[in-house]
């Protein structure tokens, strides 16, 4: 019974509810027009599982390094490690096994993918130990993790990754990371720096300025991508720009939740629980697939 409970708590600590972030790995599958190519689907799916293992290991490392602070946090104190339900020894064993399994799986798919997986692992571990305490660099590193996922997805199916895809991924991830920092800062108020040292370097005003810059950059980059001549030539359609309203609404809705509903601390929770955003993402994805694959057939 004890072993079963520990395994259950270990699984919870891998934060499976956060694995939706790894869906970025599948972006290349859509934009490389391999969505209905079975070998590519299997390779991309395997890469998704690999990054679930690696990101789970990173979450364990992060919980181990933040153990003291998490015990004093109003929400994080209920996590398995912080609450004492999970043994640190079991957590360390999990870290070794999941990193080893993820990297071995990446090597099996290809050397280049293994290199990216290793860079992701090293970068995220460095974030857990040091980089999360460096102002501005902390959110840039988090966003960089999403860029590495996107690159890994392209390498898994052996296609060239688009610079546009990387730019839009990085900016959107940076937007979400900054919004999360703002939520943490307002939630913890005057005690923010005591729970997480880096929060003492930010202020709501500074974060709002950064969010404004990144929001504008994200929207402009996406608009340029959808209307770029190379995009039109690749997909055989100039109508991808029609999906811009979905992106606009999704970002504005998220900002509304951050500023008016004091949400944004958990982007995955917002995505899954806020029906307008969930519907917007679904409509955007359906529109993208329809336009890309219809445009290709029409050409």
271 or 39: which leads in pLDDT = 39
Q: Do 76 and 126 fall within a single domain?
A: yes
Q: Do 150 and 177 fall within a single domain?
A: no
Contact predicate 156/46, CB 8 Å: yes
Q: Do 156 and 215 fall within a single domain?
A: no
Q: Do 136 and 166 fall within a single domain?
A: no
Mean pLDDT of the chain: 89
Q: Do 102 and 152 fall within a single domain?
A: yes
Domains held by the chain: number: 2
Q: Is the pLDDT of residue 260 over 90?
A: no
Q: Do 179 and 285 fall within a single domain?
A: yes
User: Tokens at residue 270, please?
Assistant: 């917002």
Residue in the block written with tokens 């690749």:
234
pLDDT of residue 186: 82
Q: Is the pLDDT of residue 252 over 50?
A: yes
pLDDT digits (tens, 9 = 90+) for 54-65: 999 999 998 888
Residue 285 and residue 27: Cα distance in Å, rounded?
A: 10
Q: Among 141, 161, 181, identify where a domain stops.
A: 161
Q: Which of 123, 110, 105, 124 is nearest to 48 (CA)?
A: 105
User: Tokens at residue 85, please?
Assistant: 């339900």
Q: Do 10 and 155 fall within a single domain?
A: yes
Q: Do 7 and 152 fall within a single domain?
A: yes
Average pLDDT over residues 87-100: 92
Q: Do 73 and 140 fall within a single domain?
A: yes
Relative orientation angle of helices 204-227 and 163-188, to the nearest 10 degrees: 160
Q: Do 194 and 281 fall within a single domain?
A: yes
CATH number for the domain spanning 124: value is 1.10.357.140
Q: Among 161, 177, 205, identify where a domain stops.
A: 161
The torsion defined by the Cα of 116, 118, 120 and 121, in degrees rounded to 10, comes to: 170
Rg (CA), the chain: 20
Average pLDDT over residues 103-109: 96
Q: Do 19 and 40 fall within a single domain?
A: yes
Q: Is the pLDDT of residue 285 over 80?
A: yes
pLDDT of residue 287: 95
3-class DSSP state of 130: coil
Q: Is the pLDDT of residue 188 over 70?
A: no
HEC sequence for 56-75: HHHHHHHHHHCHHHHHCCCC
Q: Do 157 and 167 fall within a single domain?
A: no
At 133, phi and psi to the nearest 5? -100, 10
Residue in the block written with tokens 């895809």:
165
Q: Among 133, 161, 189, identify where a domain stops.
A: 161
Q: What is the pTM of this model?
A: 0.89
Confidence band (pLDDT; 50, 70, 90) for 193?
Answer: low
Segments forming the whole domain that contains residue 119: 1-161
pLDDT digits (tens, 9 = 90+) for 129-169: 999 989 999 999 999 999 999 999 999 999 988 888 899 99
Confidence band (pLDDT; 50, 70, 90) for 211?
Answer: very high
């Amino acid at each position: 019974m004890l072993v079963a409970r520990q395994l259950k708590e270990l699984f919870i600590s891998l934060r499976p509810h956060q694995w939706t972030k790894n869906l970025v790995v599948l972006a290349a599958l859509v934009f490389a027009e391999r969505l209905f190519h079975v070998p590519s689907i299997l390779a991309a799916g395997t890469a998704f599982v690999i990054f679930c293992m690696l990101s789970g290991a990173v979450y364990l490392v992060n919980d181990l390094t933040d153990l003291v602070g998490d015990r004093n946090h109003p929400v994080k104190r209920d996590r398995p490690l912080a609450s004492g339900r999970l043994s640190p020894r079991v957590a360390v064993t999990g870290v070794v096994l999941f990193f080893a399994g993820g990297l071995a799986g990446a090597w099996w798919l290809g050397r280049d993918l293994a290199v990216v997986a290793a860079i992701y692992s090293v970068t995220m571990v460095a974030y857990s130990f040091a980089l999360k305490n460096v102002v501005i660099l902390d959110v840039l590193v988090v966003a960089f993790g999403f860029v590495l996922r996107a690159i890994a997805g392209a390498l898994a199916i052996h296609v060239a990754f688009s610079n546009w895809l990387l730019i839009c991924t990085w900016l959107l991830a940076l937007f979400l990371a900054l919004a999360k920092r703002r939520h943490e800062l307002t939630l913890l108020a005057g005690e923010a720096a005591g729970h997480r040292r880096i929060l003492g370097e930010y202020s709501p005003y500074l974060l709002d300025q950064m969010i404004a810059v990144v929001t504008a950059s994200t929207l402009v980059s996406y608009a340029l991508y959808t209307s770029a001549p190379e995009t039109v030539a690749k997909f055989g359609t100039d109508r991808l720009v029609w999906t811009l309203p979905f992106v606009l609404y999704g970002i504005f809705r998220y900002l509304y939740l951050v500023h008016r509903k004091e949400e944004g601390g958990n982007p995955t929770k917002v995505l899954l629980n806020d029906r307008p955003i969930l519907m917007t993402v679904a409509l955007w994805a359906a529109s993208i697939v329809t336009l890309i694959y219809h445009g290709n057939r029409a050409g």
